[in-house]
Amino acid sequence: MQTEYGKGAAFLIASLMLSACGGGGGGTVAAPTGVVVQTTPFTKWSDVQGTTNIEAKGLGKYANYTHVNGVVTSFDDIVQDSPNPQTSAVFSFDNGALTSVSINSNGRLAGGLTSNLTADPDFVTALDLTTRAVVSNPKSTAWNYQSFGVWENGLTSTNRTVGVMSVGSPTANFNRTGSATFYGEVVGSYVDTAGNGNTVLANLTVTANFDAKTLGLTTSGTRISPDVWQNQAFVSKGTLDLTGTLNIAGNGTFSGTLTTTSGLTGGSTGQFYGPGAVELGGVFVLPAAGTSVETYSGAYGATQTTP
């Protein structure tokens, strides 16, 4: 993602405090104004009504990087932010409309005021002066039990962080058998070999063999934009199409390796969401080998479709 500045700092300060302080079982937190704000744990998006602050928890990855003269010059080691401490996100609604998103990944905060992503209504942008994110749209009918996205902070500094998250309502008592196909989308951040940042969107297909406890993941139609904040068009980037096999654990989490057509490779982790494991979501970070700054970070979500 490119590093343009946004607005809405005052509102974001309040929402970030919610993300940092809200409890997984619901609770109250103090906003900067001194007003006590109630947070509600996430169940599913179709339950959300009125004016409320919904907190969802899950997993994530992040990496610190250096940004000098408009380009990325180096990446630090990738950190898996799961399962403890967890990644969490607060979604603030006003009369049923999503107004802000704030993300807390091991104390690394990002987010801001939201608006629909012009290129894909299934996503929203969350923008502030020093942080930003692209997150799946809770008002979309594409998914009901999860959210996923990519974020950055430290945009006024040379030392910054890029992260990915998958949060939601994990499947309880996971016990699926047989097979199923899940369809969804990927959102990500791609840094090319010259250090230029881009936002990524892609179509996702996941074939599940629950008896063999494996997932076959593929993406297609991958496209990138150098600046979604200024509505710069997405263009095809087939070299970032993904394939990989993930192994399902007994509790409904999964992990494995993903590889792009161009050869970027790295680990992915995720979990099933919703009753009966009707949705799944996960995250990945794929760095280039050696000293190259080329890196593809992303998050994905999918829902089961019955033919």
More confident residue, 36 or 243: 243
Domain of residue 139, residue span: 9-304
pLDDT of 6 higher than 90: no
> Residue 2 falls within a domain, yes or no?
no
Question: Which residue, among 38, 9, 8, has the nearest Cα to 21 in the 3D structure?
Answer: 38
> Residue 148 falls within a domain, yes or no?
yes
Q: Token pair 């590889």 is at which residue? A: 259
Interatomic CA distance for residues 165 and 150, integer angstroms: 6
Q: How confident is the model at residue 307 (pLDDT cuts 50, 70, 90)?
A: very low
| DSSP β-ladder status, 71-80 and 36-41 | unpaired
Question: What is the length of the chain?
Answer: 307
- Report how many domains make up the chain: 1
What does the pLDDT look like over 175-229, one tens digit per residue?
999 999 999 999 999 999 999 999 999 999 999 999 999 999 999 999 999 999 8
pLDDT of 13 higher than 60: no
Lowest mean pLDDT among 34-43, 118-127, 169-178: 34-43
> Residue 154 falls within a domain, yes or no?
yes
The CATH code of the domain that includes 109 is 2.40.160.90
pLDDT at position 39: 79
Interatomic CA distance for residues 11 and 8, integer angstroms: 6
> Residue 67 falls within a domain, yes or no?
yes
The answer to whether the CB of 150 falls within 8 A of the CB of 163 is: yes
Q: Phi and psi of 46, rounded to 5°? A: -70, -15
Amino acid at 218: T
Interatomic CA distance for residues 224 and 233, integer angstroms: 8
| Burial of 292: CB neighbours in 10 Å, binned 0-12, 13-18, 19+ | middle
pLDDT at position 289: 81
pLDDT of 296 higher than 90: yes
CA distances for 169 relative to 61, 72, 129, 208, 303, angstroms: 19, 35, 30, 19, 13
pLDDT, mean of residues 49-65: 92
> Residue 60 falls within a domain, yes or no?
yes
> Residue 4 falls within a domain, yes or no?
no
Summary mean pLDDT of the chain:
87
pLDDT at position 8: 37
Interatomic CA distance for residues 235 and 97, integer angstroms: 30
Percent of the chain that is helix, strand, coil (3-state, to 5): 10, 55, 35
Q: How confident is the model at residue 36 (pLDDT cuts 50, 70, 90)?
A: low
What does the pLDDT look like over 153-169, one tens digit per residue?
999 999 999 999 999 99
Question: Which residue, among 80, 75, 79, has the nearest Cα to 292 in the 3D structure?
Answer: 75
pLDDT, mean of residues 8-22: 41
Any bridge partners for residue 31, and if so which? none
> Residue 1 falls within a domain, yes or no?
no
Question: Which residue, among 128, 130, 103, has the nearest Cα to 115 in the 3D structure?
Answer: 128
> Residue 48 falls within a domain, yes or no?
yes
The pair of three-digit structure tokens given for residue 191, joined into one six-digit string: 């840094």
